[in-house]
């Protein structure tokens, strides 16, 4: 399982690039979740990971810029995305 919260900004950017911006990143989903109990939901989980990574990067940059309140908004988005992931995709 990949813990997105433990990733560096470079690692998050690499994950985003690996998943890509396609609507259905099936190839990336199959690689990322090769051990998933079934194929059902892997694309949704993969898109969730990508969106989580984007929002995590944004929150990190906002914190570095001293914009803590804005960062908290993006971190709340991350929390919502995480809550919607299937149990097998959570870290």
To the question of pTM greater than 0.75 for the whole model, the response is: yes
pLDDT at 59 over 90: yes
Q: Could you read off the pLDDT of 27-56 as tens digits, one per residue? A: 889 989 998 888 889 999 999 999 999 999
Q: Could you read off the pLDDT of 6-19 as tens digits, one per residue? A: 999 999 999 999 99
pLDDT at residue 49, as a whole number: 96
- Please tell me the distance from the alpha carbon of residue 71 to that of residue 91, in angstroms, as a whole number: 21
- Please tell me the distance from the alpha carbon of residue 10 to that of residue 90, in angstroms, as a whole number: 21
Percent of the chain's residues with pLDDT above 90 = 73
Q: Nearest-CA neighbor of 9 among 60, 49, 63?
A: 60
Give whole-number Cα distances, 63 to 13, 57, 58, 72, 75, in Å.
17, 10, 9, 9, 11
Q: What are the residue boundaries of the structural domains of the chain, listed by start?
A: 4-89
């Amino acid at each position: 399982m990949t813990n997105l919260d433990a990733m560096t900004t470079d690692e998050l950017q690499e994950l985003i690039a690996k998943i890509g911006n396609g609507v259905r990143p099936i190839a990336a989903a199959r690689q990322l979740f090769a051990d998933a109990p079934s194929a059902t939901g892997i694309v949704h989980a993969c898109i969730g990971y990508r969106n989580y990574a984007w929002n995590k990067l944004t929150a990190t940059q906002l914190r570095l810029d001293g914009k803590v309140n804005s960062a908290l908004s993006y971190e709340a988005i991350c929390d919502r995305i995480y809550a919607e992931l299937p149990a097998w995709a959570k870290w």
